[in-house]
Amino acid sequence: MRRFLAVLLVCTFVLAMIPSVSAQGDLGSEGNPIQVFFVPSVEAQAIVEGGDVMAAALEAATGLKFEVFVPTSYAATIEAMCAAPDSSMGFIPAAGYVLASNRCGVEVGAAAIRFGWPYYWAEYIVRRDSDIFDLGDLTGKTWGYGDPSSTSGYIVPSVEMQSRGIVPGDTVETGGHNQTVLAVYNGEVDFGTTFFSPPTMPEGHAAWQEGDLPEP
């Protein structure tokens, strides 16, 4: 599958935490665990499995109890966090953070570092046998994206295409970045938009830098 980058800096991926998490004395107990929310960026089961590993590490470090949740959409994740303002924390992308901050005062606790970078990119992907070679070729093509609240998967690409006068044809909401890749691979959509993180380079090669090919 051929990939090509569309946008350089997207934004930081943030860990958002509601203040006053420790206000309740029994918060973090077996009966009242701290709720940890993730957006459904990829398959929910994969997120839950990774989240459980993280929760176990947090429990070992703090002595508190944590419970992982993956709501059905980005918007549902924000709703869930705002419904539990004194007992939740979440790993949400930048656009979700802005919405949650405006809605219920979510505050940033930390930012993620991916492969040495404090931010990530949006990318457009097509099949190798596609007749799409640049952004202008996207006009009228079927577009697959994970969630309309995804910064890299939808918001940034939609703004960029609009600014260039590119009007896609049909759209398909796939449910996640991995599902978008599969939809492109299977020919269900002409192109997809997902996040891009720099690849881990083979041993003996310099670390990936901006401007390098997206695939080494």
Tokens standing for residue 71: 């709501």
SS3 of residue 155 by DSSP: helix
- Where are the domain boundaries for CATH 3.40.190.10 in the chain? 2-10+119-196, 11-111
For the chain, how many helices (H) and strands (E)?
Answer: 5, 10
Inform me whether the pLDDT recorded for 60 exceeds 80.
Answer: yes
pLDDT, tens only, 164-198: 999 999 999 998 899 999 999 999 999 999 999 88
At 198, list the tokens: 């720099």
In terms of Cα–Cα distance, which of 101, 86, 105, 100 is closest to 21? 86
Residue 25's pLDDT is: 53
User: Cβ distance 123 to 5 under 8 Å?
Assistant: yes
Report field, pTM of the whole predicted structure over 0.75:
no
**Under a CB-based contact definition with an 8 Å cutoff, are residues 49 and 104 in contact?**
no
Rounded Cα distance, 107 and 179, in Å? 30
Kindly report the backbone phi and psi dihedral angles of residue 79, in degrees, each rounded to the nearest multiple of 5, phi listed first.
-60, -40
Is 175 in contact with 147 (CB distance < 8 Å)?
yes
Predicted confidence (pLDDT) at residue 103 exceeds the cutoff of 60: yes
pLDDT of 54 above 70: yes
Homologous superfamily assigned to 2-10+119-196:
Periplasmic binding protein-like II (3.40.190.10)
Q: Residue 9: which pLDDT band, with cuts at 50, 70 and 90?
A: very low
Model confidence at 33: pLDDT above 70? yes
% of the chain residues with pLDDT over 70: 88
Q: Per-residue DSSP letters for 55-66?
A: HHHHHHHHS--E
- Amino acid in the structure at residue 176: G
Q: What is the CATH number of domain 11-111?
A: 3.40.190.10
CA–CA distance, 154 with 150 (Å, rounded to integer): 5
Based on the number of CB atoms within 10 Å of its own CB, is 215 exposed (0-12), middle (13-18) or buried (19 or more)?
exposed
